[in-house]
Structure 1
Amino acid sequence: MTATRTAPVTEANTPQRKRGAALEDAIREAAYAELTEVGYTAFSVEGVAARARTGKASIYRRWPTKQDLVTDALCTGLPTPAQCGMPFEPDDSVTTADALRTVARTIARVITSPAGDAVRAIKCEAAADPELAQLIDDRFQAPRRAALLGLLQRGVERGEVRPDAVTALVADVIPAVLTHRVILQREPLGEADITAIIEQVFIPLIEAR
C-alpha cells in the first residue's frame, strides 16, 4: 500500500500574518465592518479579532477599551466632508430650492450607506459619551450643517431666503427629517421623497415673504 504524501507547508500556501501598520489597518477595517453589521451593543473584540484574523491580545495592546477601538475605527472609516460632496458650491443659475435638493440627495446617500449604519449604531452610546458625540458631530454632521448654512446665506443674497432663517437650528431640519424617515420609519428615500421634503417642509420654513 502506497503511503499518502502530504504537501509541505510553504510560504506560498500559508497566509502571511499581518504585522505593524498593516495589522492595525486590518483591525480598524474589521472594527468598522463589525460596527456597521452588528451595531454597537453586539460589537465585540472577539468578532473584530476573527474578522482581522488576529488575536484579542493584539487588539487590546493597541486599543485598551472597546470605546477606544470604536472611536479609532470611526475616525478612519467615516467619509470625509469632501467625500460627502461638502461644501457644495452651485453656479449662479441654480436656485436655492434646486441646490437644497442636491444637498438632500447627498445626505440621503450617506445615511443609507455603511457610513450611515455606523453612525446610527453608536448614536445611543454617544448620548452618554460627550467625546464620542463630538467626534460624530465634527466628522459627520458639522460639514453638512455648514454646507446648508452656506446655501441659506446664498439664498438671502438672492432674495430667496429670509435672513432670520440662516441658523444652525434651521440647517439641521433637512438632515433630521431624512434621518427620521430612514431610522424610525424605515422607509426608502427616493427622488419623490426628497422633493416632497424640500417643497413641503423646508421651502415654506425659509422662503422670503
Structure 2
Amino acid sequence: MVSERRTEGTPTRRRGAALENAITDAAWEVLVELGYNGFTYEAIAARAGTSKPVLYRRWPQREDLLIATLTRYWHPLDIPDTGSLRQDALTLLRRVNAERARTVILLRIQLADYFRETGTSFSDLRSRLRPADQTPPFAQLVDRAVERGELTDAPRSERVVNLPFDLVRHDVLMTMGAVPDEKIVEIVDTVWLPLLGLSPHGTRTGR
C-alpha cells in the first residue's frame, strides 16, 4: 500500500485505517464548508494532504466516498432502557435533539444537490447509513414495553411507532434549530402515548 506524507510539518507515513480516517475527516470538512457541489476528489485530496488516485483506489465513485464519510460521522444513538416507555422516549428524543439536530440541518442543506442529482431522499440516505439488521430505535422501545407488559402485544403501524422522531425532525427542519424541551414532552405525552393506549403516568387508557 502506498504511504502518504503530510504537506505541512514533519512528514508522516499513513496507511490503512489511519489514512482512511484522515481522508474521511477531510471529506467531512469539505462537505460542511462547500456542500455537495464542492465535495470533489481534488478538494478532499488537497485537504487530506494526499493524491486523487489514492482516493479513487478506495472509493471509485464520489457517492462511495460520501457514504463512507457520513457513516463515520453518523454515530448510532444509545438506546435507553429506563424501565418506562415514557422515560425511554423522552431520553431518546433528548439525545436526538442534542446530538443529531445540527447534523440533520447540515445534511439537509449541504446535500440538497446530492438528493436532486440522485433522485433520492433523506429517508433513503438514513436507511443506507443504518445497519441493515438494526431495528429502528422507537421500534426497540415499543418492543421492550411489550416485553415488560407495559403495552399490549398488538399490531402497530411503522408510522405510529416512529411518530415521535418524525415530529421532532419536522420541528428541527421547520425552525432550523433544536426543539424546546416542553415540545418534546408534549409530543410524547399528548400525541404518542395516547396513540399507543397509554397515559403519561403509564396506565392503559383502554385503547
Verify same fold: TM over 0.5: yes
CA distance in 1, matches of 2:133, 2:100: 14
Residue 75 of structure 1 pairs with residue 59 of structure 2:
no
| Distance of aligned partners of 1:165 and 1:196 in 2 relative to their CA distance in 1, 3 Å threshold | farther
Question: Is 1:170 matched up with 2:160?
Answer: yes
Distance, in Å, in 2 between the alignment partners of 1:168 and 1:17 is 50
Q: Does 2:170 correspond to 1:180?
A: yes
Query: What's the RMSD between the two structures over aligned residues?
Result: 3.4
Matched to 2:25, the amino acid is: E
- 1:105 maps to 94
Residue matched to 2:78: 85
Alignment of 1:36-185 (within 5 A): 36-79=32-75, 81=76, 84-86=77-79, 88-91=80-83, 94=84, 96-114=85-103, 116=104, 119-120=107-108, 121-122=110-111, 125=114, 128=118, 136-137=126-127, 139-140=129-130, 146-156=136-146, 161=151, 163-164=153-154, 166-185=156-175
AA of the residue aligned to 1:85: D
In the alignment, which of 23, 43, 51 is matched to residue 27 of structure 1?
23
Distance 2:129 2:98 in 1: 16
Provide the rounded CA distance (Å) in 2 between the counterparts of 1:101 and 1:203.
11
In 2: Cα distance, 1:31 partner to 1:155 partner: 40
Q: Deviation at 1:126?
A: 5.5
Does the residue aligned with 2:166 lie in a helix, a strand or coil?
helix
Q: Which has the larger radius of gyration?
A: 1
Whether the 8 Å contact between 1:101 and 1:194 is mirrored in structure 2 is yes
Number of residue pairs matched by the alignment: 188
In 2: Cα distance, 1:58 partner to 1:175 partner: 39
CA contact (8 A) 1:165 1:206 kept: no
Secondary structure in structure 2 of the residue aligned to 1:184: helix
Is 192-201 or 55-64 further displaced after alignment? Answer: 55-64
Q: TM-score, normalised by structure 1?
A: 0.70
Q: What's the TM-score once normalised by structure 2's chain length?
A: 0.70
Q: Which runs of 5+ in 2 are unaligned?
A: 1-7, 198-204
In structure 2, what is the equivalent of residue 10 of structure 1?
none
3-state SS of 1:193 partner: helix
Q: Which ranges in structure 1 are unaligned for 5 or more consecutive residues?
A: 1-12
SS of alignment partner, residue 85 of structure 1: coil
Contact in 2 for aligned 1:31/1:73 (Cα 8 Å): yes
Q: Deviation string for 1:82-103 (max 9, x for gaps)?
A: xx112x3223xx3x22221111
The residue type paired with residue 48 of structure 1 is I
Query: SS where residue 27 of structure 1 aligns?
Result: helix
Whichever structure has more helix as a proportion of its residues is: 1
Tell me what 2:3 maps to. none
**Residues in 1 aligned to 2:176 and 2:132: alpha-carbon distance in whole angstroms:** 24
- What does residue 202 of structure 1 align with? 192
Q: Does 1:15 align with 2:15?
A: no
Change (3 A) 1:36 1:203: farther
Give the superposition deviation at 1:51.
Answer: 2.0
